[in-house]
Structure 1
Amino acid sequence: MTTIEEAVKLRERRDDAYGSLTQVFAKTDLPRLRRTSWAWNITDAGGSIFVVREARTYDDAEEAAQSIEMTFRALTDETYRVEVSKKTRRSLGYLAQNEVPLGRKPELTDADLAKIRALHDRGLGYTAIGIVMAKVQKKDGKVINRSAETIKRALSGEYESREAYERRSREARQRMAARAVLGLETTKEKN
């Protein structure tokens, strides 16, 4: 069974064939209950919902205490999730506004970029350089060639090295810290 909706449909098909002998049992977290209506379908049909984080089972749709508790907990958890999402969005916006680089660090170092330039000076093409500069994936140890597009960007100067990225990040964070702690303005803000 891959989704809850499929489980409910499977139960309905089994009930038609064998009578009401089967029970759907779903494991979930409460925030998911609030965002979807499948929980009520399961308990109304006689199924059970097991909330993993609390080790609590909801199995009776007509019991007021369970319905109220499930609704209230799902609502508060959903509200918390929304607040965390807003806070994260605000924080990322603040970092972007202060020119802190976001996203994954570049893989190629200054030494790698110098090696790419040296190989290109020797007459190797983009694909050949990509083969020489292959990388090993961490998750499965597979060797993957660098793309010709990455090699082109490295040769044209568009590719930022890992050291340049870290330097830019450090400088932006230091400017932010100076503004926050000392109340200083940067030269960019004065203009």
Structure 2
Amino acid sequence: MQLTGKITRESLMTLEAYSTWRKQHKAEVIAHRKLRSVALGDHVTLQFEDERTIRYQIQEMLRIEKIFEEDAIGHELETYAPLAPDGSNWKATMLIEYPDVNERQRELARLIGIEDRMFVEVEGQPRVYAIADEDLDRENDQKTSAVHFLRFEFPAATAAAIRAGAGVKLGCDHRNYPAHVAIPAETLACLAGDLR
């Protein structure tokens, strides 16, 4: 899988080529995704996306659905390519996970609006709150969704501080899920590479 800086139709592999590549590289991609994941408390995980994770997601969708028609490939690109960061931000898939169905139903009702209360706090800089679900609204009056897409748009000074090695916390100040965690150094080094 060649990283090109922009995911286009021309930069995707054919289904046959991807099948061969996947057998040899799946473990690497899983390790990369794990490195870019941050657990916030027991029930929220943010998977910070990049070109590699999104490119893999698109190729997997094409493989699973056996998509080879140009229009359908274009649809997958339109759906997933915007989820890759573009130099001034971090983009993440937020997963709210409760194994028990009844508990999940109850908690998703209590967590309405959580996606708007997620933040990144860089040492010496003001908090940057997530811009959530830009593609469509994922909650209603009864509950929030278990999956949200977040963008953390950084002012230049904040991005520079991250690249310079400042400490960074991921947090949530929703009244029913207050939590924060320092982003581990290895993960932070990887995420800093998303900023230019």
Find the structure with the greater CA-based Rg: 1
Q: Quick one: higher RCO (CA 8 Å, sep 6+), 1 or 2?
A: 2
Q: Structure 1 length as normaliser, TM-score?
A: 0.23
Larger helix percent = 1
Q: Structure 2 length as normaliser, TM-score?
A: 0.22
